[in-house]
A and B are shown apart, each in its own frame.
Chain A
């Protein structure tokens, strides 16, 4: 700090330095607890131990910590270049803490946080309307030089010398400086405690807390001139003055004027940000996927809509595929302290095709594309759906659906918030159901998923479809079910090539079934086979292989082209074998007996024919008569 040029009798360097540091320390303590830049939340031991590299530009903070034996947090911005802009120790240091009431309209240019202090160092004035700000505290640090050099301090110096070292002037001065320095230390301890007991500190902490949205913000103004308060303002203020500390040629004083109460200023209620909304938005990969969110009402029968935002916050895997922050205003407004209406925050509806995923691995792509297909069109009316998430998980309906596992409760919750969407999703055709079932199970067509979206216009409502899915007769269909219950991802399931092939012709087979339940088909076949009497009792055992073939041939899910040809060949050969076996088993007597029976049958037929012909012949005769 530069001393005054008009300094007629310059103080010793050490006193000058102590006074300079007194000003700096006072400013540091005050701004530390009034400026969010040096919020206690940012404080760490490391910072304290290795603070030479801190943000102080003019001097490292470590030596400043040692001054007055009080280690403080990082230097406030105002302390930077403090030594440069401060002209003289004789000028008072006036620190006004200003409470600013901001309009609730968000100001984009304003830094995040909404309550950041601005440094109005120097003589710059607040560029605000007069009614929008108020000085709530005024701290004045002042050094007053004694007019007469033969002050009482000299007596005290002598006194110190007499007490301690027998009266030599050098030692007495040292003792005096030590004692004075001790007083500075104690004064700064008191200042540090007092500043936390004043009403402003509570507000400062509240404004610093991220969960509060408040139209108020704090600022400060540093000047070297004292602008008097109006009488009205002064009447609302209290004053605390620390006992001045004498120096050899003057004295240092510190005082504060503060508003007794801030209740009238804070009367306008702040709008606390809904923590519930944050909870929903900020999920965790460790969160139990089935956990119902506390913040949103439950909707037992609501259709499973997709929890886009939550899914985003969980995973980067899919979130990176499209707009990662689909609602940037949500995050920003949280930080800025803007009241956030979820419906307003979300972007306008756009078609999902706009979000084409980048190149990803095949299995992932399959899953993701499938998700895209299933999520966007069906939720089109929902403000959550369009751009919200290509990573929307719930394309398989029902609770057993593997991807539905990931979004579980939030789907339902958001559906509750969007009743229109819910009702629309319930209106779907049975064709739609079957189409979805088919598409869901088809593993070979994921890459063409976008074209299948049209079929998914109506999305199944969950439980019903899940049950039908479970009823599929194929053993292959049961495989993903068991996997899904074990929590494997959809792409993992479809990596199984043994799973993929049987479903290649599933569409055709189901088409031939023509709305007949596969279960019914199987039931009918089984019933027929088990209840039908064998053509020949003795050959029942030999006929079983053909029954087995029939069972499998009727099973649509395991049938494919190659199998068909093999089956037909196999079936033909089996018939020949059966015929030969049948012939070999007949004896000659049985053959004669059979021949005899045929002969008898022939004779009886001929008899009947003869009698019928004689009747006919006699008829015309009568007529003629």
Chain B
């Protein structure tokens, strides 16, 4: 089984925006993969002019929030970096019995990479352009607003990218095996504070080797 991979468009975010950005993206992805009977719930972003949809499932919500907190904790220790959050869907299959015993193996069939470029909030009085000029507090406020609006627009594009991917790639999805809300097992990977950046990528590489070459999509 092929593992379809979607690299989502990179978003430049400041730390206070991470939570809302990740929530909207992760819930949108999971809503498309929670194929059990769901009751959708509209969520209005506080920072952006966007309404996303999530399954009304407390466990799901809790798990997502835990992972986001974990990621935010990592970002606090590693500021101003590009980082990834990956959500993977897999199937669990028993591998052929060897003389070491039975082995349960995960077959990843879909991976979503959320690419974030974390930047520190800009101090007032300087613009982020190469033209370094002093701006007034009012200009800084306007700049912050326009930056937030731009991020909102980019986030909307990412959500549409998810819809497009879901719309186009359907053949790789395994048949439904249960009637649970979230039909397939999944995991959310974040760079943990103990891992180095290299270590996390190594983990991803290892997973890729396990599941075969993903077909990279735009």
Residues of A with Cβ closer than 8 Å to B?
40, 48, 65-66, 69-71, 164, 175, 178-179, 182-183, 185-187, 189-190, 192-194, 196-197, 201-202, 205, 242-243
Given contacts A178-B175, A179-B175, A189-B166, contact A197 B39 (CB under 8 A): no
B168 CB-CB contact with A under 8 Å:
yes
Q: Which residues of B contact A164 (CB under 8 A)?
A: 175
What CA separation (Å) do A185 and B28 show in the bound complex?
15
B185 within 8 A of A: no
How far is B181's CA from A189's CA once the two chains are assembled, in angstroms? 13
Question: How many whole Å from B37's CB to the nearest CB in chain A?
Answer: 4
Which residues of the partner chain A approach B168 to less than 8 Å between Cβ atoms?
Answer: 243
- For the complex of A and B, 3 pairs with smallest distance between CB atoms: A71-B39, A69-B37, A196-B51
**CB-defined contacts of B37 to chain A, threshold 8 Å:** 65-66, 69-71
B92 interfacial contact with A, CB 8 Å: no
Are A48 and B35 touching (Cβ within 8 A)?
A: no
CB-CB under 8 A for A182 and B176, given A187-B167, A242-B167: yes
Chain B, residues 154-170, CB within 8 Å of chain A (1/0): the string is 00100110110011101
Interface positions of B from 101 to 123, Cβ below 8 Å from A: none
Chain B residue nearest to A67 (CB atoms) is: B37
Residue of A nearest to B35 (CB): A185
From B38, B52, B162, contact of A71 by CB (8 A):
B38
- Give Cα distance in the complex from A196 to B50, angstroms: 8
| Contact partners of B38 in chain A: CB under 8 A | 69-71
| Interchain CB contact under 8 A, A196 and B42 | yes
A178 to B170 Cα, complex, angstroms: 13
What's the Cα separation between A205 and B39 when bound, in Å?
Answer: 20
Instruction: Provide the B15-40 mask, 1 if CB < 8 A to any CB of A, else 0.
Output: 00000000000001001100111111
B173 contacts the other chain (CB 8 A):
yes
Residues of A within 8 A of B162 (CB): 193
Question: Which A residues touch B175, using CB under 8 A?
Answer: 164, 175, 178-179, 182
**B166's contact among A69, A179, A190, A201, by CB below 8 Å, is which?**
A190
CB distance from B16 to the nearest CB of A (A): 23
Q: Which A-chain residue is minimally distant from B34 (CB atoms)?
A: A189
The residue on A at minimum CB distance from B49 is A202
Min Cβ gap A522→B in Å is 67
18 A-B pairs whose Cβ atoms sit less than 8 Å apart in the complex: A48-B39, A69-B36, A71-B39, A186-B166, A187-B167, A189-B31, A189-B32, A192-B40, A193-B31, A193-B53, A193-B162, A194-B163, A196-B52, A197-B50, A197-B159, A197-B160, A197-B163, A243-B167
Q: Which residue of B lies closest to A40 (CB)?
A: B42
List, in ascending order, chain A residues with CB within 8 A of B170's CB.
182-183, 186, 243
In the bound complex, what is the Cα–Cα distance between A242 and B37 (angstroms)?
22
Pair A190/B163 contact, Cβ less than 8 Å: yes
Q: CB-CB < 8 A to A182: which residues of B?
A: 35, 170, 173, 175-176
Task: List the A side residues contacting B42 at CB < 8 Å.
Answer: 40, 196
A196-B52, A201-B51 in contact; A70/B32 too (CB < 8 A)? no
**Once bound together, how far apart are the Cα atoms of A196 and B42, in whole Å?**
9
Given A178-B175, A197-B156, A243-B167 in contact, is the A186-B32 Cβ separation under 8 Å? yes
Give A192 to B51 CA distance when docked, in angstroms.
Answer: 11
Report B30 CB to chain A, min CB distance, Å.
Answer: 10
B179 CB → nearest A CB, Å: 9
Q: Which of chain B's residues have a CB closer than 8 A to the CB of A243?
A: 167-168, 170
Q: State how many angstroms separate the Cβ of A84 from the closest Cβ of chain B.
A: 27
Q: A54 → chain B, closest Cβ, in Å? A: 14
Residues of the B chain whose Cβ atoms lie less than 8 Å from the Cβ of A205: 51
Q: Are A193 and B28 in contact (CB under 8 A)?
A: yes
Q: Which residues of B contact A69 (CB under 8 A)?
A: 35-38
Chain B residues with CB below 8 A from A202, complex form:
49, 51
Write out, one digit per residue, whether chain B residues 38-62 have a CB within 8 A of any chain A CB (1) or not (0). Answer: 1110100000011111000000000
Least distance between B42 CB and chain A CB atoms (Å) = 6
Task: Name the residue on B nearest A187 (C-beta).
Answer: B167
A66 to B37, CA, bound (A): 7
CA distance A202 to B176 in the complex (A): 34
Q: A69-B36, A71-B38 are in contact. List 15 more A-B contacts (CB 8 A).
A: A48-B39, A69-B38, A70-B40, A71-B40, A186-B35, A186-B166, A189-B31, A189-B35, A192-B40, A192-B53, A193-B28, A193-B163, A196-B53, A201-B51, A243-B168
Whole-angstrom CA separation of A179 from B170 in the bound complex: 9
Cβ distance B137 to chain A, nearest Cβ, rounded Å:
27
B167 adjacent to A190 (CB under 8 Å): yes
A186-B34 Cα distance, complex, nearest whole Å: 9
Q: A186 vs B28: C-alpha distance in the bound complex, in angstroms?
A: 12
In the assembled complex, the CB of B50 is this many whole angstroms from the nearest CB of chain A, namely 7
- In angstroms, Cα B38 to Cα A66, docked, is 9
Q: Return the chain A residue nearest B179 by Cβ.
A: A69
Which of B39, B167, B176 is A178 in contact with, Cβ under 8 Å?
Answer: B176
Q: For A190, what are the chain B residues with a Cβ–Cβ distance below 8 Å?
A: 32, 163, 166-167
Q: How far is the CA of A289 from the CA of B164 in the complex (A)?
A: 57
Complex Cα gap A179–B173 (Å) = 9
Which residue from A70, A175, A193 sits with its C-beta under 8 Å from B52? A193
Q: Give the distance to chain B from A466, nearest Cβ to Cβ, in Å.
A: 49
A98 vs B179: C-alpha distance in the bound complex, in angstroms? 39
Chain A residues, Cβ within 8 Å of B35: 69, 182, 185-186, 189
Q: Which residues of chain A come closer than 8 Å to B160, judged between CB atoms?
A: 194, 197
- The chain B residue sitting closest to A29, CB to CB, is B40
Residue of B nearest to A202 (CB): B49
